[in-house]
Amino acid sequence: MGWFDGLRGSDSSGSSSSPLAKLDPKLREFLEKESPLKYQQQQEEEKKQQKQQQQNQLQISQYSVQPPTVSSQPAVPTESLYQDGRYADLWKTYRPLASVEADTKSEHERLMDILDAYKDRRAQIGRTALENCALEQIEWNECIKDGPLSSRMTMCHEEMKKFERCYNMQSRLLKALGYLNTYGRSADMDERIQLHADALYHRMLRQESEIEKAKAEGRPAPALDFATNIALPKPDYATAAPAPLATPAVPIENDATIPEDLRKQFTEKLAKLPAAERSAEEAALRAELVAHAEMSTRVTELRAAQQAAREQRKADGKATWKDRVSGLFGH
Averaged pLDDT score across all residues of the chain: 76
Cβ–Cβ < 8 Å for 160, 95: no
Q: What is the pLDDT of residue 70?
A: 47
Q: Is the pLDDT reported for residue 242 higher than 60?
A: no
Mean pLDDT, to the nearest integer, of 122-149?
95
Query: So what's the pLDDT on residue 180?
Result: 85
Task: Give the orientation angle of helix 187-216 with respect to helix 107-132, to 10 degrees.
Answer: 40
Residue 86 is predicted with a pLDDT of 79
> What pLDDT is attached to residue 276?
80
Residue 249: predicted pLDDT? 66
Taking only the tens place, the pLDDT of each residue in 182-208 is 676 788 888 988 998 998 899 889 988
Reported as a pLDDT band with limits 50, 70 and 90, residue 250 is: confident
Compare 87 and 15 and report the one with higher pLDDT. Answer: 87
> Each residue of 29-45: pLDDT tens digit?
665 565 554 545 666 66
**pLDDT at residue 105, as a whole number:** 77
Percent of the chain topping pLDDT 90:
25
**Secondary structure, 3-state, the chain:** CCHHHHHHCECCCCCECCCCCCCCHHHHHHHHHHCHHHHHHHHHHHHHHHHHHHHHHHHHHHHCCCCCCCCCCCCCCCCCCCCCCCCHHHHCCCCCHHHHHHHHCCHHHHHHHHHHHHHHHHHHHHHHHHHHCHHHHHHHHHHHHHCCHHHHCCCCHHHHHHHHHHHHHHHHHHHHCCCCCCCCCCHHHHHHHHHHHHHHHHHHHHHHHHHHHHHHCCCCCCCCCCCCCCCCCCCCCCCCCCCCCCCCCCCHHHCCCCCHHHHHHHHHHHHCCCHHHHHHHHHHHHHHHHHHHHHHHHHHHHHHHHHHHHHHHHHCCCCCHHHHHHHHCCC
pLDDT-based confidence at residue 239 (cuts at 50, 70, 90): very low
In tens, the pLDDT along 78-132 reads: 777 777 777 777 777 777 776 766 666 777 888 888 888 889 989 999 999 999 9
Residue 11's pLDDT is what?
46
What pLDDT, on a 0 to 100 scale, did the predictor assign at position 74? 59
Summarize pLDDT for 252-291 with one digit per residue, the tens: 888 888 999 999 999 999 999 988 888 889 989 998 998 8
Q: Where are the domains of the chain?
A: 114-315
